[in-house]
Structure 1
Amino acid sequence: MGKWTIADMSDQAGRTAIVTGANTGLGYEAATALAAKGAHVVLAVRNFQKGKAAAGLIARAHPGASVAIQELDLASLDSIRAAADELKSKHDTIDLLINNAGVMTRSKSTTKDGFELQFGTNHLGHFAFTGLLVDRVLAAPGSRIVTVSSPGHRYPRSGIRFDDLQWERSYRPLDAYGQSKLANLMFTYELQRRLQDTDTMAVAAHPGGSKTQMVSNSPGLVRLMGPLFQSAEMGALPTLRAATDPGVLGGQYYGPGGLAEQRGYPKVVTSSATSHDVAAQRRLWAISEELTGVTFPLMELR
């Protein structure tokens, strides 16, 4: 399939999709497309009022769309647990869990639990959120967990800084962001290994260079490149293909098919050799369980 677009998405009626960071940018575009195709979409957002505004826009654009809002702060384990509990009380099954939300910062800050903000939000927050909801995902036939990474996963040349995960000795914003995005991929690959012999798959995606609000908060080089980036609507296509294309396989990674994976229609792309280090994946998983206090039920190490 050469140019996969929203028009190629199958009917999503009867499916429940949870999209983190869905009030703006890539998450909003993904949520809108899924709702337009008939899915019941939950906008999992930090700011409830912004989520309400986004839900209103989707409803006006697609009358009859089924959209709900869930308050979720991925920088707080308490908020993650509360959100997961509320979602589980409302949904016996979850067909799509799209881990889209992300932060990119120019200065060092921490989550409410003391983790470096980018690693804590982008990886640990989604790790915990997924682990707390995974039983509902496993209960849905043909379900998928899609986690959004970035070409920036290649930034940290030394891979995951297991000896200084929270960047306490030194702080380099782009490398810290890259570590969080590398962790997203390692999480996906290890999760897929643990999901073998189930009817659920884990897939990763990245948007290439996309015009989103994150760009305005990013380091100078990224902001300078902003005018060259593609639209958020195009940037959401890899996520949507990973979430809905019947031909997707567990453990695949989707991104734009154009030059340097910065623009274009989605296709299967490759990630760094570091991201495929199985020993590092398993070490990261164990540390993530320890830091978040969240373990994944019914999944033995394979």
Structure 2
Amino acid sequence: MTSDPKNPPLGKTASSLARLYAPQIKGKAVLTTGVSPSGLGAVFITAIAKSEPSLLILAGRNVAKIQETVQTLVAETSDSPVAIRILELDISSLDAVRNAANTVNGWTDIPHIDVVVSNAGIMAVDYKVSPEGHESQFATNHLGPFLFTNLIMGKVLASPAPRIVMVSSNGHRLCPIRFHDYNFQGGETYNKWQAYGQSKTANMLMAVSLAQKLGSKNRLLSFSLHPGVILTNLGAHLDWKTAFPLMNELDRFLGNREAQMTSLPLITPEEGAATYVFAAFDPDLSTHNGSYLTKCGVADPWVDTLKPWATSSVEAERLWKLSEELVGQEFVY
């Protein structure tokens, strides 16, 4: 069964779409970053595990938390066990990323990885820097995934139908890439929401770059997505009553301060992770390579208020060059 990306399927939960796309999921090796219990990454892999993927690679910094997710997976797929492998990956550290990529590339028993879902990330944290000295949200949400994805690209391109999914956000509307000052003058001009917006813009531009560089020649499909507004541990450190008024782009949507919490268009984790399943497996997305997805469909630039700075091929190439400079390695395809 197939679907029209411009007319998303009904019953939009991760589990229902996993059943819909069972033929596309069966036999696939899927690597997902950020799979702590109760997070969207965990919801995604738990949903697709029942559709017989050949392998689920669970990557994250905290191995103990990954083990908790594994226990849930094992319990829920006891009738049809799925192969699982754990990868220790601290996406905020470029050295750790290289070590993890070396581990993946050294798995001789895994000839290819069909789908990579880059889900790990942080949101609106106070100013700090990565081990290499880069602003932490830019480092964790973009530079780490950029390096990791490119370092394991050989495994990905060995798949007959490779696909990469970058989890972005409508938060991209908060800030373009600050090419003049991506590090916020060492914290002097730091605004945590602008930094978050910059990193989410970077996710979208990376999907654009991958589609342009590897789409026609290597059949790679690459997408970014907005899962929706969901209360997960990602924002557990935030006081949403004061956070949203700081976000001018969302003020217009929320209407007024008194209605902040009652007006939030909250959806469930199952509904949010549905767009992950859609992005990773929908068979009819090939004509929309590089697109930004939301609500299990291709986003409408006007209805979904996409900012041109996050969809520009010129900005995408400019970011690619900056990213290569910052990670200290070029990737020519």
In 1, distance between residues paired with 2:197 and 2:57? Answer: 28
1:87-126 paired onto structure 2 within 5 Å: 87-90=104-107, 91-126=110-145
Q: What one-letter code is carried by the residue in structure 2 that aligns with 1:31?
A: I
Partner of 1:21: 34
Q: What one-letter code is carried by the residue in structure 2 that aligns with 1:26?
A: L
Deviation at 1:279, TM superposition (A): 2.1
1:60-79 paired onto structure 2 within 5 Å: 60-63=75-78, 64-79=81-96
1:180-195 paired onto structure 2 within 5 Å: 180-195=199-214
SS in 1 for 2:182: coil
Q: Normalising by structure 2, what TM-score?
A: 0.82
Given candidates 258, 283, 289, the residue that maps to 2:318 is 283
Partner of 2:290: 251
In 2, distance between residues paired with 1:203 and 1:185? Answer: 8
SS in 2 for 1:280: helix
1:186-225 paired onto structure 2 within 5 Å: 186-195=205-214, 196-218=216-238, 220=240, 221-222=243-244, 225=261
State yes or no: 1:241 paired with 2:278.
yes
Partner of 2:68: 53
Question: Structure 1: where are the runs of 5+ without partners?
Answer: 257-265
Partner of 1:2: 9
Specify whether residues 295 and 217 from structure 1 end up closer, same or farther in structure 2 by C-alpha distance, changes over 3 A only.
farther
In 1, distance between residues paired with 2:320 and 2:174? Answer: 21
Given candidates 107, 110, 133, the residue that maps to 2:152 is 133
Specify whether residues 240 and 2 from structure 1 end up closer, same or farther in structure 2 by C-alpha distance, changes over 3 A only.
closer
Q: Is the 8 A contact 1:254 1:267 kept in 2?
A: yes
Deviation at 1:291, TM superposition (A): 0.6
Specify whether residues 150 and 88 from structure 1 end up closer, same or farther in structure 2 by C-alpha distance, changes over 3 A only.
same
Higher RCO, 1 vs 2 (CA within 8 Å, ≥6 residues apart): 2
Q: What one-letter code is carried by the residue in structure 1 that aligns with 2:177?
A: I
Partner of 2:102: 85
Displacement over 6 Å in runs of 4+: none
In 1, distance between residues paired with 2:34 and 2:320? Answer: 23
Deviations 1:72-127 (A, max 9, x none): 00111111111111111112211001101110133111112111111100011100
Q: What one-letter code is carried by the residue in structure 1 that aligns with 2:95?
A: D
SS in 2 for 1:197: helix
In 1, distance between residues paired with 2:60 and 2:125? Answer: 22
- Two-structure CA RMSD over aligned residues (Å): 1.8
Q: Normalising by structure 1, what TM-score?
A: 0.90
Q: Is the 8 A contact 2:223 2:291 kept in 1?
A: yes
Deviations 1:133-152 (A, max 9, x none): 11111110111011010000
Same amino acid, percent of matched pairs: 33
Q: Which has the larger displacement, 60-69 or 50-59?
A: 60-69
Deviations 1:134-193 (A, max 9, x none): 11111101110110100000011xx21111111124011111000000010011101110
Deviation at 1:228, TM superposition (A): 4.9
Q: What one-letter code is carried by the residue in structure 2 that aligns with 1:246?
A: P
Equivalent residue pairs, number: 287
SS in 2 for 1:236: helix
Q: Is the 8 A contact 2:207 2:291 kept in 1?
A: no
In 1, distance between residues paired with 2:174 and 2:261? Answer: 16
Deviations 1:9-30 (A, max 9, x none): 2232321110000123111011
In 2, distance between residues paired with 1:66 and 1:211? Answer: 30
Deviation at 1:225, TM superposition (A): 4.2
Partner of 2:266: 229
Q: Is the 8 A contact 2:230 2:269 kept in 1?
A: yes
Q: What one-letter code is carried by the residue in structure 1 that aligns with 2:29?
A: T
SS in 2 for 1:205: strand
